[in-house]
Amino acid sequence: MKENEKLRTIKLAWLRLCENLTGDLETPYERAVELVRSLEYSAKDVEGFSLMLPQLQTLESSSHYDGLFLSALINMGKEQDYIIHTIDLYSPLNFLGYENIKNITVNGDVGLRVGNRMKKGTITINGNAGTCVGELMRGGKIIVNGKTDQALGGPYGNEGGEIHLNGDFDLPSHAHMGSDIYHNGKLIHSMHSWPMLSCMDYWWRTFRH
């Protein structure tokens, strides 16, 4: 990816975020928002930065912060639709789509907690997703076209929105799932129903005939 002036300013903001990494989740996101708030960039520049990330990620660069930084870029951007590429990353993007309000298409896999605290918009993952998809999600739609790891919704569950699973998945039986969950277009859990079907129950009821 050829670096231009806008990509340079985005990279400098990312480097500043990585200078003082902390263990607190909200603080790095809030700092990322402050770092990108005054920048001029387009959705194409955000896509370009995602293509640069494989060259930038190091042992010191946490995938948590990369995902939060991209989330801040997207939420603070002027456009509604964004494309992110995750192929060849040193480590997977965690927390991508944090507090999301836009439409994101991910070409490749994502790490854990995609769509964490998502408010609205869509996240379409053309790949696999790690654990805790849609944790604390309040609205919008997440579509996973690959497989989804265990602990859907995470230990804290979520409060709204839709999750569409188009590959292998594992539904938890312990978390409060306030989202409508679909598998290959079929509603398998409604936010208005309880208890939720276990993964085994779903397959038994779907395929026993």
Phi, psi of 169 (to 5 degrees): -155, 170
- pLDDT for 12 equals 95
Are residues 174 and 131 located together in one domain of the fold? yes
Whether residue 86 is contained in a domain is answered as no
113 and 69: one domain? Answer: no
Q: Tell whether 199 and 148 lie within a shared domain.
A: yes
Q: Which is higher by pLDDT, 83 or 60?
A: 83
Residues 102 and 202 in one domain: yes
| pLDDT-derived band at 1, boundaries 50, 70, 90 | low
Please check whether residues 19 and 115 belong to one and the same domain.
no
Averaged pLDDT of the chain: 85
**DSSP calls for 101-133:** -SEEEEES---S-TTTT--SSEEEEES-B-SST
**195 within domain boundaries:** yes
Of 80, 105, 120, the last residue of a domain is: 80
Which of 18, 50, 80 represents a domain boundary (last residue)?
A: 80
Are 134 and 190 in a shared domain?
yes
143 and 199 share a domain? yes
Higher-pLDDT residue of 77 and 171 is: 77
pLDDT reading at 202 higher than 50: no
Identify the band that residue 173 occupies on the pLDDT scale cut at 50, 70 and 90: low
Q: What is the CA radius of gyration of the chain?
A: 17
Look at residue 10 and tell me whether its pLDDT is greater than 60.
Answer: yes
Q: What is the number of structural domains in the chain? A: 2
Q: Would 88 be classed as within a structural domain?
A: no
pLDDT category of residue 200 using cuts at 50, 70 and 90? very low
Please tell me whether residues 73 and 110 are part of one structural domain: no
Last residue of a domain, one of 51, 80, 109: 80
Residue closest to 144 by CA, chosen among 130, 129, 159? 129
> What is the rounded CA–CA span in Å between residue 15 and residue 1?
18
Q: Tell me the residue range of the domain where 60 lies.
A: 1-80
Same domain for 55 and 105: no
Q: Which H or E run contains 137?
A: none
Is 63 part of any domain?
yes
How many whole angstroms separate alpha carbon 77 and alpha carbon 42?
7
Domain co-membership, 100 together with 129:
yes
Which pLDDT value is given to residue 119? 97
pLDDT band of residue 56 (cuts 50, 70, 90) is confident
The answer to whether position 87 is within a domain reads: no
Are 206 and 167 members of one domain? yes
118/124 Cα distance (integer angstroms):
13
For residues 103 and 73, what is the distance between their CA atoms, to the nearest angstrom? 13
pLDDT for the residue numbered 113:
94
Predicted confidence band of residue 69 (pLDDT cuts 50, 70, 90): very high
